[in-house]
């Protein structure tokens, strides 16, 4: 069995074990159009964090500071009653032919005790400077792992999962659709444009909220019931 670490994944690694397709998609504008309106409290909190962000050099300051001042506070603002933000979350996917394991920089998902048991949204923080590598295949690795874990709670194919990679305060979103076809895993990823948090904080938060609303287990169960009723 081939074993891969999320933080070292390359396109070549993924292509050796999955059938991978990447496409541009209009899903992101659709999600923005369907996103719930932000409350006055959310707008005030967003304004506070954004104004703090304007006063630092986001493109050159270190990753830990950007994570603490920009990325993680945005994730916390997207929380719901049943979905919580967490950092440094272990993820693992084990297929008959290969396995992927590693640590997600951030996750929005169902919290059971002190563990995230169902990750609905994952974040990969791209490393800069000398140690920097292509963040896209590493995000894809996180998405495959998250879809694998979610499949245990809500089996369906394709398994849909969302995530983003961040470079400084810039977010690039991706939707993954993962299914099994014979002895191969097929994955399709739809990638968004870049969203700069210091200028587009409202759009980022709306996307996060729309994604969580569309991808929660409650919503999936409702959608499945609707399909079953339509069949009957």
User: Mind listing the pLDDT tens digit for each residue in 152-189?
Assistant: 888 988 999 999 999 999 999 999 999 988 889 999 99
Whole-prediction pTM? 0.90
Tell me, what's the pLDDT at 55? 87
Percent of all residues in the chain with a pLDDT value above 90, rounded to a whole number: 72
Alpha-carbon gap, residue 122 to 125, rounded angstroms: 10
pLDDT above 90 for 111 = no
**Position 125 pLDDT exceeds 70:** yes
Nearest to 104 by CA among 87, 118, 116: 87
Alpha carbons 40 and 225: distance in angstroms, whole number: 34
- Provide the H-helix boundaries in the chain: 11-15, 27-34, 40-54, 63-66, 72-77, 135-153, 197-215, 217-231
Q: Could you tell me if 175 and 162 are in contact, meaning their C-beta atoms sit under 8 angstroms apart?
A: yes
Count Cβ atoms below 10 Å from residue 52 Cβ, excluding itself. Answer: 12
Inter-residue contact 195 to 173 (CB < 8 Å): yes
pLDDT mean over 22-50: 94
Confidence of residue 25 (pLDDT cuts 50, 70, 90): confident
What is the mean predicted confidence (pLDDT) over 24-41? Answer: 93
Q: What is the dihedral of CA 149, 151, 79, 22, to 10 degrees?
A: 90
Coil, strand, or helix at residue 173?
Answer: strand
Classify strands 18-24 and 184-196 as parallel, antiparallel or unpaired: parallel
pLDDT of residue 94 exceeding 70, the answer is yes
What per-residue confidence (pLDDT) applies to 223? 45
Give the model's pLDDT for residue 226. 37
Q: Where are the beta strands (DSSP E) in 66-114?
A: 83-94, 98-112
- pLDDT score, position 59: 86
Average pLDDT, the chain: 89
- pLDDT score recorded for residue 131: 61
Question: What's residue 132's pLDDT?
Answer: 60
pLDDT greater than 60 at residue 45: yes
110: β partners: 83, 118
Q: What is the rounded CA–CA span in Å between residue 176 and residue 143? A: 6
Q: Is 80 helix (H, G, I), strand (E, B) or coil?
A: coil
* Confidence (pLDDT) at 128: 72
Q: Which two tokens stand for residue 38?
A: 């932000």
Q: What's the rounded Cα separation, in Å, for the pair 144 and 74? A: 23
- The residues near 181 (Cβ < 8 Å, ≥ 6 apart) are 19
What mean pLDDT comes out for the span 34-41?
Answer: 94
pLDDT digits (tens, 9 = 90+) for 182-222: 889 999 999 999 999 999 999 999 999 999 998 765 555 44
Share of the chain above pLDDT 70, in %: 91
The predicted model gives 78-89 an average pLDDT of: 93
Question: 40-54 vs 197-215: helix axis angle to the nearest 10?
Answer: 140
- 3-class DSSP state of 110: strand
Residue 230 has pLDDT above 60, yes or no: no
What pairing do the DSSP bridges indicate for beta strands 98-112 and 2-5?
parallel
């Amino acid at each position: 069995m081939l074993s891969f670490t999320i933080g070292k994944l390359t396109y070549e690694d993924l292509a050796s074990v999955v059938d991978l397709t990447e496409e541009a998609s209009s899903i992101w504008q659709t999600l923005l159009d369907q996103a719930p309106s932000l409350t006055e409290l959310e707008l005030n909190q967003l304004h506070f964090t954004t104004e703090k962000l304007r006063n630092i050099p986001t493109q050159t300051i270190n990753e830990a500071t950007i994570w603490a001042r920009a990325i993680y506070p945005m994730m916390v603002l997207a929380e719901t009653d049943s979905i919580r933000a967490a950092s440094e979350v272990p993820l693992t996917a084990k297929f008959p032919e290969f396995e992927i394991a590693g640590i997600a920089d951030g996750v929005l998902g169902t919290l059971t005790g002190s563990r995230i048991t169902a990750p609905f949204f994952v974040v990969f923080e791209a490393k800069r400077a000398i140690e920097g590598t292509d963040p896209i295949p590493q995000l894809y690795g996180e998405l495959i792992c998250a879809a694998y874990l979610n499949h245990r709670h809500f089996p369906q194919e394709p398994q849909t999962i969302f995530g983003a990679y961040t470079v400084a305060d810039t977010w690039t979103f991706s939707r993954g659709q993962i299914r099994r076809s014979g002895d191969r895993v097929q994955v399709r990823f739809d990638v968004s444009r870049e969203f700069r948090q210091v200028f587009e904080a409202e759009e980022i938060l709306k996307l996060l909220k729309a994604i969580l609303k569309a991808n929660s287990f409650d919503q999936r169960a409702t959608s499945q019931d609707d399909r079953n009723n339509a069949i009957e």
